[in-house]
Amino acid sequence: MTAERQLSHGKHFLLGDELSIADFYLLPSTFAFSMTAEGQSMYPKFPAFCRWREGIDNQPATQKVRAAVQRLPIEHAREWANAHRPKY
């Protein structure tokens, strides 16, 4: 996982010690994926990434936005993803 390599510097955020737009850019897709079974089984394999996610999730700005947003599944998105998944 690219984010795991990027976080190998041991800092709290993607680009170092300071929170940046890069962190907030990556957050929505990682959040959405964390709500899937695939994400829930995959993420624990990447400890630096999980520490980063925990740190971002604890940011006041993140908590404020999440409190204001309704978390309903987007059924058509799941149906599309399943329909377009490669058949191995």
Domain that holds residue 53: 2-83
- 88 within a domain of the structure (yes/no): no
- What single letter denotes the amino acid at residue 25? Y
pLDDT in tens, 13-63: 999 999 999 999 999 888 888 888 898 999 999 999 999 999 999 999 999
- 39 within a domain of the structure (yes/no): yes
CATH number at residue 43: 1.20.1050.10
Q: Please count the CA atoms within 13 angstroms of the CA of 46 that sit on its side-chain side.
A: 20
The whole-number pLDDT of residue 73 equals: 67
Q: Are 45 and 2 in contact (CB under 8 A)?
A: no
| CA distance to 30, 36, 55, 77, per residue, from 80 (Å) | 19, 14, 31, 5
The whole-number pLDDT of residue 23 equals: 93
How many domains does the chain divide into?
1
DSSP-derived 3-state class of residue 16 = strand
All residues at 6 or more sequence positions from 12 whose CB lies less than 8 Å from its CB, including other chains: 19, 52, 55
